[in-house]
């Protein structure tokens, strides 16, 4: 499995239907993300938790990607959720809110396993590398399950040619 990390969510403007119609699919940063997401076999979303929910920038990205022009890249897309937080509760509520929003877009959200990393500063080294063995095992389980989820749901995706 190859994972491509998208580092430019900050360039995505706030969702605005007027901007959406300036160019089909929205402004350039939105179209670039849409192309990358469309080309991907699946999407792995890693989120922190802010005020018991997902960050606004994540909701904004989902809003842009759910739009029909030129195609709804989330509709039928396999998606897995993970998250890390400095708090002791992990990202349960952020993932729940994200799952709820993704289901509205008709994304195919993987039901389990889920990874809620609590007390994240204690589990990563100073360079941001995960050093905690049990968390590594849990992350590998999520990635293995995502590979299986892709194989399972791809025939169900719109335009897959399968019936």
User: Domain total for the chain?
Assistant: 1
- Assign 46 to helix, strand or coil: strand
Residue 1 CA, chain-centre distance (Å), reads: 16
Buried b (16+ CB within 10 A) or exposed e, 73-103: bbbbbbbbbbbbbeeeebbebbbbbbbebbe
* Beta carbons within 10 angstroms of residue 68's beta carbon: 9
In a domain, 3, yes or no: no
In a domain, 161, yes or no: no
Return the pLDDT at 90. Answer: 86
In 95-157, the DSSP E strands lie at 108-109, 115-117
Residue span of the structural domain in which 28 resides: 9-156
Return the pLDDT at 144. Answer: 97
Which residues on adjacent β-strands are paired with residue 79? 43, 109
In a domain, 67, yes or no: yes
In a domain, 39, yes or no: yes
What is the block-wise mean pLDDT of the chain (163 residues), using blocks of 10 residues?
91 89 83 93 95 95 89 93 90 96 96 91 92 96 96 77 49
The CATH number of the domain holding residue 106 is: 3.40.50.360
Report yes or no on whether pTM surpasses 0.85: yes
In a domain, 92, yes or no: yes
Return the pLDDT at 158. Answer: 65
In a domain, 1, yes or no: no
In a domain, 163, yes or no: no
Return the pLDDT at 83. Answer: 95
């Amino acid at each position: 499995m190859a994972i491509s990390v998208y580092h430019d969510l900050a360039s995505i403007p706030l969702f605005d239907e007027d901007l959406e119609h300036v160019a089909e699919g929205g402004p350039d940063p939105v179209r670039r993300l849409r192309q990358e997401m469309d080309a991907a076999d699946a999407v792995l979303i890693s989120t922190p938790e802010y005020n018991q929910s997902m960050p606004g920038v994540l909701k904004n990205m989902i809003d842009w990607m759910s739009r029909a022009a030129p195609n709804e890249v989330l509709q039928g897309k396999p998606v897995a959720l993970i998250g890390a937080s400095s708090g002791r509760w992990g990202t349960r509520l952020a993932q729940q809110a994200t799952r709820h929003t993704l289901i509205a877009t008709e994304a195919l959200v993987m039901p389990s396993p889920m990874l809620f990393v609590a007390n994240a500063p204690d589990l990563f080294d100073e360079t941001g590398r995960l050093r905690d063995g049990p968390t590594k095992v849990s992350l590998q389980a999520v990635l293995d399950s995502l590979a299986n989820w892709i194989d399972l749901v791809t025939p169900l995706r719109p335009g897959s040619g399968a019936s």
